[in-house]
Amino acid sequence: MGYVIGMDGGGTKTIAVIADETGAVKASASAGPTNPNVLSSETLKTTIRHLYHQLQQQAPGAYEKVETVFAGISGAGREETQHMVMKIITNHLSSSTDIQVVPDSINALYTGTFGKPGIVQIAGTGSITYGINKENEHRRVGGWGFLFGDTGSGYDLGRRAIIAVLEAEDSVGERTVLKELLFEYFHVQNARELIEKVYAAQSPRREISSLSKIVFQAYKKNDLITVGFINEVVKNISSHIQSVYTQLFQYQERVPVVLVGGLFSDTTILPSLLENELKCTPTLTIYLPKLSPVGGSVIGGLLMQKVQINKTIIKQIKHSLSK
């Protein structure tokens, strides 16, 4: 049996690996973003070529025997976009290589379900809720980008924090510890300087998203404003998860909910609050995966080869990626 290339392409970083049928990783490569909605096709081609070059240099023999590529790419939700990315990925590989391009939410889901049905909640710079049932039907809620959605994302939390500070400054909102924390973070003395710092950033969206860690600090200080909007965010995310569940799964069908993304790193905040919020739907069970998203891509590639995913393979993937 040939080898698998698993690829996890995000808005800031892309990781690709070559693995064999046992899940053993033979080569690993990293590069910049591969979201086709924000990159030119030429930039995307250059990034993919760079990844291939790294993999080929590390494991030339395995690279020549790659049979399947499973690429979970941020922003690849539309069929037209998937075809465009597939054409780029096809270059430099054998014409017989089987390639599948999917949204990165699918390989994120596989980090917890290992290819089986379930729901994934992603919360990082952006956010989306995505599910697949046993009939292979797919549904998504959210994921509309920072301008119109991304509830519970880093950007959402950071934006809410800044608004809370500005409202407090204008005396239309309550006092909040977020003011002191944000002023210290940006090394500013007032709200005007704070706003100028954000607008002057190379990427205001990324700058705002990074403030989620400040929000969690304020939450741990029991800041009432922060606790209030964190609870609101948790209710919103919970409603998204329940919406996907209702659309895809039968009544009382037990379904895993996989939490993926940096905002779930502190298990005492969002994961714990979400678990409590979802108690009203006992058929939903929260999982915090120990497998990285590129590991989910490896599982996707092995499934393309009709490999039965078992505990030994999962353990091997985890072990290989941890090196």
Give the domains, in start order, of the chain with CATH numbers. 3-113+291-322 (3.30.420.40), 118-248 (3.30.420.40)
Tell me the average pLDDT across 77-97.
Answer: 86
Task: Give per-residue pLDDT as tens, 111-158.
Answer: 999 999 999 999 988 889 999 999 999 999 988 878 887 888 999 999
Residue 302 confidence (pLDDT) above 90: yes
pLDDT of residue 11 exceeding 80: no
pLDDT value for 114: 94
Q: Give residue 247's Cα distance to chain centre.
A: 22
Under the banding of pLDDT at 50, 70 and 90, the label for residue 318 is very high
208 has a pLDDT exceeding 80: yes
pLDDT at 1 over 80: no
Span 220-231, mean pLDDT? Answer: 95
pLDDT band at 109 (very low <50, low <70, confident <90, very high): very high
The predicted pLDDT at position 152 comes to: 87
- Cα 31 off chain centre by: 16
Please give the share of the chain, as a percent, with pLDDT higher than 90. Answer: 72
- How large is the average pLDDT for residues 91-115? 90
At residue 23, the pLDDT reads 94
The amino acid present at 103, given as its one-letter code, is P
Q: pLDDT tier at 37 (50, 70, 90 boundaries)?
A: confident
Tell whether the model's pLDDT for residue 234 goes beyond 90.
Answer: yes
pLDDT attached to residue 202: 86
Q: Is 1 helix (H, G, I), strand (E, B) or coil?
A: coil
Q: Are strands 118-123 and 127-132 parallel, antiparallel or unpaired?
A: antiparallel
The answer, yes or no, to whether residue 12 has pLDDT greater than 80, is no
| 92: pLDDT strictly greater than 90 | no
d(CA 299, CA 294): 9
Of 26 and 96, which is predicted with more confidence?
26
The pLDDT of residue 81 is 87
CA distance 165 to 275: 29
Label residue 280 by pLDDT band (50, 70, 90).
Answer: confident
Sheet holding 255-260, edge to edge: 138-142, 127-132, 118-123, 255-260, 284-287
* First-to-final CA distance of the chain: 24
What's the average model confidence in pLDDT over 217-240? 95
Q: What is the mean pLDDT of residues 50-68?
A: 93
Q: Are 116 and 103 in contact (CB under 8 A)?
A: no
